[in-house]
Amino acid sequence: MATAHGCSAVCPGYSAGSISESDTEFFAQLTLAGPPCNAYGTDIENLTLNVRFDTMNRLHVHIQDFANQQYQIPESVIVLDRGSGADKKTSSLNFDCTHSSTGGFGFKVSRGAQVLFDTTGHPLIFEDQYIEVTSSLPINANIYGIGETPDHFRRDPNNTTKTLWNRDAADPFRQNVYGSHSVYMELRDDQFHGVYLHNSHGMDIALSSGMIQYRTLGGTADLYFFGGSTALDVIDQYTELVGRPNRIPYWSLGFHNCRYGYKSVYEVDGVIANYSKAGIPLEAAWTDIDYMDQTRDFTFDSINFPLSEMQRQLAYLHQHGQKMILITDPAIQVNMSYGPYARGHRQDVFIKNADGSEYIGQVWPGYTAFPDWFAPRAASWWGDELGRYFEQLAIDGMWIDMNEASSFCTGSCGSGKPESEVPPFPWTLDPPPPHRPLSTNNTFLVPPYAIHNPETELSDKTIETIARHANGVIEYHVHNLYGYMESKATYDFLVNYRPNRRPFILSRSTFAGSGALVSHWTGDNAATWRDLHLSAASVFDFGIFGIPMVGADICGFNGNTTEELCARWIELGAFYPFSRSHNAIGMVPQELYRWDVVAEASRRALGVRYSLLPYFYTCYQRSVERGWPIARPLVFEFPSVPAVVDNDRQLMVGGGILVSPVLVESATSVDAFFPAGLWYDWYDYSVIKGADDNVRLNAPLEHINVHVRGGKIVPAQVPAMTTSRSRENDFYLIVAVDKHGTSAGDLYVDDGETFDTASRWMQFSFANSTLKIRQCSGQYNVAQPLSMLVFLGVSAISAVTINGARVQANVSVSNGSTIVNGLNIDLNGELDISFV
């Protein structure tokens, strides 16, 4: 027997018997090896172990109760890829069942001679409301992932507890917030591997000296292991399991603006006009809950945001190649005179109390009911309400918020209250209302093991854990799935409402597989320098989580930003995959044109972004096909360089662009790390010979340092004020040579809007003074020509030939690099472009 780290009880572990195996699977029965410890529930005596080699690089280890009574995520909610099965003899991963005198049954997962996960000596605890699985780790391990939580990218391996319980919280440092993602990656001996626990219950995942420990509030130990060996390989293998990222419309890569607190549609009109006047690109105008009538979904404030004026504004935006997005919350005001509630009530689509009455919480419009996504008619009711809404105003995308789900009171506080009663917001009361007494006799309200959720009880700020769903399951088991299920219902509506059009949905709450449905922003951050810094780490986290279209509120949401902070934030935020400024009601306005310095910084940084739109889009197609993130930390590209294992101060776009932002107040320079190789300044083409060391770069307030990696060919396009206008302009290639004088890259193009579009992949390579363009797949016709080539690190060009025929071109040299202009090259064919 042994003492588990998550509890003080002495637990016996399990013994394994009735072992059988085949070429692709391993089975065993697990039996409690001694008297039950009942640490945080009731020990389950008999378990089953099922091990399957799903693919060559993915191993599935599932420990579940023999009676199959523990709640598991049904396939009707999330369909996981089962894989075709792999012969364990040829798999990159090995599984071994072990036994120790201190812990009983254990197991090891290894890659060759390297043991990646080892529970030997750590007793398995499997109870009805508590499961504990512990694995040894190397000392000072490099662990990434597990969240959602604002934190530095590399998790502290000696003192980290990540809590997975979706919560409406304004990005407190190292605490649980909106989403739950139990996947992690480890870098060991220059190679990555990954582990994912498929479980919807609240949990802690703790890192302490030499171990990782899962402590869940129920379910099963449903573990998947990914062999890697690169970071991109692990993310590929993980997203193959939970779902590849969804296909986004091209326009969503533009810059977006929003705030909570716009007083009228006319104020938003002015914002749109002022962006244009300032020469700052604006792709989409967003409006928060201000547009609603009494903050009720699917309505419009007849005085300040009348429907006719919103329709006029939408038409204006579309005439100028721009988009409109409005917010929608899941909570529905309880009032029979309000159509969405009345129709939902009649169709029985709302979550219930234990006595069968409707569960009623409190959100913006007052007392509210919450859609029960398990109810048979909930999705069709939601789609019908959205259809009515879109028939009034056919907005371009959906922004679904407060879907943890958030509630301002604890429990069914609106039960028995008259419809006319409008409760005050709790935070406006003085003194604040006392918390209800803890119901410690109900272990689904107050579980014996208290995960590190900072609230007094799990039901605070959300739906009560004993609320009932239509399938009989209580919220305790499925809380973390709420935002995912709303995302699915919203996605299904949009693909049916606009057949063959890619939806754009931004969701605050996410779960494993959400990337197949939605994009994400990191929630209610603060206008602080620390939050600016941490934003990059959060973007990297979601790259691991399979949600590559992600960004933070630029300039900060809560609190008043400053001119300097806002300038520095847009300089970094211009390179988030999802780029949007957003701030809270009552804060100083922070539209990018408000300060001259911020406006100039925005024009410069967004000018680079819009030039790189073809590159961003190509990177995103790799996300669609392989799960690869757009925004990457240096360690993903340079895993053998020890100095970058904890670098979350720089950001790479794909593998070819390095962004080195200023993250410190009053700084006018930045110490940027440059891995070995050649790195070319985006603006003046000067070269830095990287030597795995820091280089101090000048960084005046309006400037963001951007470098192109030697050895990469980056496709670009002449920028414009919108993505649609940019797509009409000529292409150019940035050919950045490495020390051997070579480089390579690719370009993906399609119509940027539909699912069944024609497409085209082309590859570029440069060596021996010849640029080769090869067509890899697809028949999409690229109408825009290639008119310019920028050769970084190449200075000896005087003439140009295309497929052997000399062409006229304008050649100039700058800082040892050459710009070849005046070309008119058709990108739809095979080309050899030579330079002498």
Q: Which domains are delineated in the chain?
A: 2-242 (2.60.40.1760), 636-835 (2.60.40.1180)
pLDDT exceeds 80 at position 758:
yes
**% of the chain at pLDDT higher than 70:** 99
Segment 634-666, tens digit of pLDDT:
999 999 999 999 999 999 999 999 999 999 999
Interatomic CA distance for residues 761 and 617, integer angstroms: 12
Contact 659, 650 (CB under 8 A): yes
By C-alpha distance, which of 247, 692, 670, 734 is closest to 500?
247
pLDDT exceeds 60 at position 3:
no
pLDDT exceeds 80 at position 490:
yes
pLDDT exceeds 90 at position 6:
no
Interatomic CA distance for residues 193 and 235, integer angstroms: 9
Supply the mean pLDDT for the chain: 97
Q: Is there a catalytic annotation at residue 753?
A: no
Interatomic CA distance for residues 639 and 636, integer angstroms: 6
pLDDT exceeds 60 at position 4:
no
Segment 602-611 mean pLDDT: 98
Say what the pLDDT of residue 5 is: 57
Task: Say if strands 712-717 and 731-736 run parallel, antiparallel, or are unpaired.
Answer: antiparallel
Q: What angle do CA 394, 399, 381 make, to 5 degrees?
A: 70
Residue 766's pLDDT band (boundaries 50, 70, 90)? very high
Residue 798's pLDDT band (boundaries 50, 70, 90)? confident
Determine the residue type at 245. P
Interatomic CA distance for residues 38 and 127, integer angstroms: 7
Q: Is there a catalytic annotation at residue 596?
A: no
Contact 675, 692 (CB under 8 A): yes
3-state secondary structure 113-137: CEEEEECCCCCCEEECCCEEEEEEC
By C-alpha distance, which of 610, 618, 549 is closest to 778?
618
User: Which residue of the set 171, 233, 404, 457 is catalytic?
Assistant: 404
pLDDT exceeds 80 at position 589:
yes
Radius of gyration over alpha carbons of the chain, in Å?
27
Segment 107-133, tens digit of pLDDT:
999 999 999 999 999 999 999 999 999
Segment 354-359 mean pLDDT: 97
Beta strands, E only, 148-279: 154-155, 159-164, 181-188, 191-197, 203-208, 211-216, 221-226, 255-257
pLDDT exceeds 70 at position 76:
yes
Q: What angle do the packed helices 529-544 and 231-242 form, to 10 degrees?
A: 70
**How big is the chain, counted in residues?**
836
Say what the pLDDT of residue 796 is: 85
Say what the pLDDT of residue 8 is: 58
pLDDT exceeds 70 at position 2:
no
Dmax over CA atoms of the chain, in Å, equals 87
pLDDT exceeds 70 at position 222:
yes
Segment 429-462, tens digit of pLDDT:
999 989 999 999 999 999 999 999 999 999 999 9
Residue 7's pLDDT band (boundaries 50, 70, 90)? low
User: Which residue of the set 301, 460, 464, 524 is catalytic?
Assistant: 524
Token readout for 671 is 């110490």
Interatomic CA distance for residues 729 and 716, integer angstroms: 10
pLDDT exceeds 50 at position 1:
no
pLDDT exceeds 50 at position 741:
yes
User: Which residue of the set 401, 564, 746, 750 is catalytic?
Assistant: 401
Say what the pLDDT of residue 801 is: 95
DSSP class of residue 774?
Answer: E
Q: Is there a catalytic annotation at residue 401?
A: yes
pLDDT exceeds 50 at position 326:
yes
